[in-house]
Amino acid sequence: MFYPDEAFDGILFQAVVTMNNFQMYRHIMNPGWTLGWTWAKKEVIWSMVGAQATEQGDCSKFKGNVPHCCKKNPTVAGTTNKTVKLPKNFTLLGPGPGYTCGPAKIVPPTIFLTADRRRKTQSLMTWNVTCTYSQFLARKHPSCCVSFSSFYNETITPCPSCACGCENKNKCVKSDSKLLSVVGINTPRKDNTPLMQCTTHMCPVRVHWHVKINYKDYWRVKVAITNFNYRMNYTLWSLVVQHPNLNNVTQVFSFDYKPLVPYKSINDTGMFYGMKFYNDLLMEAGPFGNVQSEVLLQKDKNTFTLKQGWAFPRKVYFNGDECMLPPPDTYPFLPNSAHGNLVGFSTLVCSLLSLLIIIW
C-alpha cells in the first residue's frame, strides 16, 4: 500500500487481507468474490499478490513506476496507529448482490510467525469487517422451487406457477427449439443474463422430492435436481433439506451428506452435495442438466407417518437460497385421505342442496 503526500513521497505499508466464509451452506460461485471499499485519504495500491484490482484508475500523477491501482474506491497507510485511517464503505459481491458489510472494527493485532517459527511479529493494526447475506436483497424472486410426488398417489405436485417470477417468460426457449443447436448458445454472458427453458415455474433450478418406498423399518426417498438455465452450470452445488427424520439417515446413495446441527439438541437439517469428479457439477439445461440420488431413512415409529404431508421436507435450500415449496394443501395425499375428502365434499354439497330446498 502507498500513501502519497503533496510531493508524491510517501510511506509504504504492507497489509494482509484474509476472508473467511462462516456460512454453513453457501459458497462463493464462479466467477468469484469481489471486495470493495473507499479509502479514507489518498491511499493507492502499489502492488498486490493473490488478487488484483478490477480497474487501475487514473495514475497519471505517477511517473515511471506506476501503482497497481489508484482508484479512490477500491488497506491501510501511515507510520503509527494514530496515522492509520480505516477504510470505509466495504462492499462484497459473491459474485452477485445480497451482501451488506458493516464498518471496520479494530481488534487485537494479528500475530505472524517467521518461516522457522522461532520469531513472532505483529501488525500495526488489525480490523475486522463482517458482511451478512440476505436473499431478499439479492433478488426479488426465489431462484429455485420444489415439486413432490409419491408411490401412493399418481398425482405429481408441481412447482408453483411463476415461482421464480415470469418476467422472462417471453424470452425463454422450448426444450425442442432449433435455437439450442446454435454454436455458442450456452456461453455465459458477462452480465450473467440467463437463457431459461420454458416452464410454468420459470425457475433456474427445480428440486424434486419423491417418496419412493415404504418398508417395515425404513423408508426411501429419491431426490433429483434439474437445471433449466442453458447458460449456467453449478460447480460444487449444495442442497440443504429440513425434515424431522434426517436425524436418522441410514444411507445416501449418490450424493455426499453432512448433518447440520447448529443447535445440538435439534438434528433435523442436512446438506447434500455432489461426489467429487462424479456429480459435483450440475450441468447446464439439457439432457445432462440433472443430478439425483436416493436416501434411506430409518423410521421412528413414534413420529413416522405418510399422512398430512409429513414425508415431505419443511424447507429446501439450493446453494444457500431458499426454494419455494408448493402449498401444503396440494401435497400428494394418501388414498384413504382422498376418500375422506370426497365424502366430506359430498356431504357439504348435500347440505347446501337441502338448504336451498328449504329456502325455496
What pTM, to 2 d.p., does this model score?
Answer: 0.75
Q: What is the pLDDT of residue 343?
A: 34
**β 105-107/126-128 pair status:** antiparallel
Q: pLDDT tens digits, residue range 141-158?
A: 999 999 999 999 999 999
Q: What letters, b where the CB count within 10 A reaches 16 and e where it falls short, cover 222-258? A: bbebbbbbbbbbbeebbbbbebbbbbebeebebbbbe
Q: pLDDT tens digits, residue range 225-268?
A: 999 999 999 999 999 999 999 999 999 999 999 999 878 888 99
Q: What is the pLDDT of residue 244?
A: 94
Q: What is the pLDDT of residue 83?
A: 53
Q: pLDDT tens digits, residue range 43-68?
A: 888 888 777 888 888 888 888 788 88
Q: What is the pLDDT of residue 81?
A: 52
Contact 228, 207 (CB under 8 A): no
> ∠ CA(130), CA(131), CA(133), 5° rounding?
145
Q: What is the pLDDT of residue 272?
A: 97
User: What distance in Å separates the CA atoms of residue 43 and residue 8, rounded to the nearest whole number?
Assistant: 11
Q: What is the pLDDT of residue 75?
A: 43
Q: What is the pLDDT of residue 138?
A: 85
Q: Which residues of the chain have pLDDT under 50?
A: 1-9, 75-76, 78-80, 337-360
User: What distance in Å separates the CA atoms of residue 256 and residue 149, rounded to the nearest whole number?
Assistant: 23
Q: What is the pLDDT of residue 355?
A: 35
Q: What is the pLDDT of residue 339?
A: 37
HEC readout, the chain: CEEECCCCCEEECCCCCCCCCCCCCCCCCCCCCEEEEECCCCCEECCCCCCCCCCCCCCCCCCCCCCCECCCCCCCCCCCCCCCCCCEEEEEECCCCCEEECCCEEECCCEEECCCCCCEEECCCEEECCEEECHHHHCCCCCEEEEEEECCEEEEECCCCCCCCCCCHHHCECCCCHHHHCCCCCCCCCCCCCCEECCCCCCCEEEEEEEEEECCCEEEEEEEEEECECCCCEECCEEEEECHHHHHEEEECCEEEEEECCCCCCCCEEEEEECCCCCCEECCCCCCCEEEEEEEEECCCCCCCCHHHCCCCCEEEECCEECECCCHHHCCCCHHHHHHHHHHHHHHHHHHHHHHHHHC
| Residue 139: burial class (beta carbons within 10 Å; 0-12, 13-18, 19+) | middle
Spell out the CATH class of 141-177+192-338: mainly beta
Domain assignments of the chain as residue spans, ordered by start: 1-138, 141-177+192-338
